[in-house]
Amino acid sequence: MKLDEQKIGFLGAGKMASAIIRGLIKSGISKDNICAGEKYEPASETARKDFGIFVTGDNAEIVKRSDVLILAVKPKDIAAALSTAGSLENKLFISIAAGVTTASLEEMAGKNARVVRVMPNICATVLESATGICPGKNASKEDIDLVKAVFSTVGVAMEIGEELLDAVTGLSGSGPAYIFPVIEALADGGVYEGLDRRTAQILAAQTVIGAAKMVIESGDHPGELKDMVCSPAGTTIVGIQTLEDYKIRAAFMNAVIASAEKSKEIGKKK
């Protein structure tokens, strides 16, 4: 199944849906192949204005027009959205709702439904998401490849077992929120040493971008890359020693673990 041949419908047109729509259009998908169901008028008007796609408050109309349905509503609203969507046969369902299992989605959409659960992150809004993909029991290899193609338009997409999706939530789902204070703190250090705020912030953010790109493109272990920067008795190793004094590694590890455990807890309540 080629992505550009699919009719893609969104149930919900909020921030994450808008990010995915933007990525699809930027990748060359025709806006005529994209539609969205959104009852909240400000959000529906924004989608019409920003993307020029068909938007309606009638979910059944979106289902009728679509081969692929992306469920982009709040977890508590999925059942209601599907119950007003008419016939759901022969559709591929992609859910970005946190904590809603593939089994639950299959139950709501029909026992033979082809379901793929996805965990993107907020960086999809700048087309740099780190996305985990988890197929349900009825999803085919072609379905998984199609979902990867969709989410590759907004960053990196990787297939993950559902038992590890809470770990993905703790790491990449919540991860951007861990990095924003790092950028702010680096910039604060620059301001302390005399840089103006705007310059310090750009330097800090670009440093994070560059370091991340080196890890991905080189394939080297982050520790090896760190060693490349740390000259004997130099400025960088002093900074590293200071970070170690404050247990920087333990802080980030514990943040990921705590977030993953919270995701598990939320999932059990659903």
72 belongs to an annotated ligand binding site: yes
DSSP for 235-254, please give it: HHHHHHHHHHHTTHHHHHHH
β-sheet bridge partners, residue 69: 9, 93
Query: Is residue 153 helix, strand or coil?
Result: coil
170 belongs to an annotated ligand binding site: no
Distance CA 24, CA 51 (A): 11
73 belongs to an annotated ligand binding site: yes
113 belongs to an annotated ligand binding site: no
Find the DSSP H helices in the chain. Answer: 15-26, 41-51, 59-65, 78-83, 102-109, 141-152, 165-168, 175-192, 197-218, 222-229, 235-245, 248-269
33 belongs to an annotated ligand binding site: no
Strand order in the sheet with 8-11: 54-56, 34-37, 8-11, 68-71, 92-95, 114-119, 129-135, 155-159
DSSP H or E stretch at residue 95: strand 92-95
| Residue whose token pair is 């890359």 | 225
DSSP for 23-59, please give it: HHHHTT--GGGEEEE--SHHHHHHHHHHH--EEES-H
C-alpha of 268 from chain center: 22
| Residue whose token pair is 């490349």 | 228
Task: Write the single-letter amino acid at 154.
Answer: V
189 belongs to an annotated ligand binding site: no
11 belongs to an annotated ligand binding site: yes
14 belongs to an annotated ligand binding site: yes
Report the chain's terminal Cα–Cα distance, integer Å: 33
Task: Write the single-letter amino acid at 246.
Answer: Y
247 belongs to an annotated ligand binding site: no
Residue 169 DSSP code: I
Q: Which residues are annotated as a binding site for NADP(+)?
A: 11-16, 72-75
Positions at the binding site:
11-16, 59, 72-75
Binding residues for NADPH: 59
